[in-house]
Amino acid sequence: MNVTVHGAAREVTGSCYRVETAKTRLLVDCGMFQGSAYNDAKNFREFGFDTKDVDAVAITHTHLDHVGRLPKLVKEGFRKTIYLTKPTKELARIVLADAEKIMEEEFEREYRPKLYERTHMERACELMRGVDYSRWVTVGDLRFRFRDAGHVFGSAFVEVEQRGGARVVFSGDIGNIDVPILRPTAQIGSSDAVFIESTYGDRIHEDERTRMNTLRQAVLTTVKNGGVLIVPAFAVERTQDLLYFMNHLVEEGSMHPVNTYLDSPMAIRVAEVMKHYPEYYDRDALRLVSVGDDFFDFPGLRTTMTKEESKSINEAPKPKIIIAGAGMMNGGRIQHHLIRYLSDRKTTVLIIGYQAEGTLGRKLYNGEKRVRILGESVDVRASIISIGAFSAHGDQRKLVNWIKHGKAPAKRVYCTHGEEHAAVALATRINEELGIPADVPRFEETVAVE
CA distance 288 to 293: 5
Q: In the structure, what pLDDT confidence band is assigned to residue 13 with cuts at 50, 70 and 90?
A: very high
Evaluate the CA torsion angle 79, 81, 83, 87 in order and state its sign.
Answer: positive
Tell which wins on pLDDT, 156 or 178: 156
Res 356: pLDDT: 87
Mean pLDDT, residues 50-75: 98
Res 144: pLDDT: 99
Res 348: pLDDT: 97
Residue 391 has pLDDT above 90, yes or no: no
Element (H, E) at 250: helix 238-251
Mean pLDDT, residues 174-201: 95
Res 410: pLDDT: 95
pLDDT in tens, 409-444: 999 999 999 999 999 999 999 999 999 999 999 999
pLDDT in tens, 213-238: 999 999 999 999 999 999 998 899 88
Class of residue 127 by CB neighbours under 10 A (exposed 0-12, middle 13-18, buried 19+): middle
CA distance 117 to 99: 11
Q: In the structure, what pLDDT confidence band is assigned to residue 208 with cuts at 50, 70 and 90?
A: confident
Q: Which of 64-78, 244-258, 367-381 has the lowest mean pLDDT?
A: 244-258
Res 388: pLDDT: 79
Q: Is 66 helix (H, G, I), strand (E, B) or coil?
A: helix
* CB within 8 Å of 188: residues ≥ 6 apart: 147, 157, 169, 194, 402, 403, 405, 406, 407, 410
Q: In the structure, what pLDDT confidence band is assigned to residue 349 with cuts at 50, 70 and 90?
A: very high
Res 306: pLDDT: 96
pLDDT in tens, 92-137: 999 999 999 989 988 888 888 999 999 999 999 999 999 999 999 9
Residue 67 has pLDDT above 90, yes or no: yes
Res 179: pLDDT: 87
Mean pLDDT, residues 250-256: 89
pLDDT in tens, 273-313: 999 999 999 999 999 999 999 999 999 999 999 999 999 99
* SS3 assignment for 193-223: EEEEECCECCCCCCCHHHHHHHHHHHHHHHH
Res 267: pLDDT: 94
Q: In the structure, what pLDDT confidence band is assigned to residue 357 with cuts at 50, 70 and 90?
A: confident
Pick the CATH number of 208-390 from 3.40.50.10890, 1.10.10.10, 3.40.50.720, 3.60.15.10: 3.40.50.10890
Residue 387 has pLDDT above 90, yes or no: no
Q: Quick one: DSSP state of residue 10?
A: S
Element (H, E) at 35: none
Tell me the CATH architecture of domain 2-203+392-448: 4-Layer Sandwich (3.60)
Res 233: pLDDT: 86
Average pLDDT score over the chain: 95
Res 111: pLDDT: 84
Closest CA to 394 of 157, 179, 240, 169: 179
Q: In the structure, what pLDDT confidence band is assigned to residue 160 with cuts at 50, 70 and 90?
A: very high
pTM of the full structure: 0.94
When computed from its CA atoms, the radius of gyration of the chain, rounded to whole angstroms, is 21
Res 103: pLDDT: 92
Domain range annotation of the chain: 2-203+392-448, 208-390
Res 107: pLDDT: 87
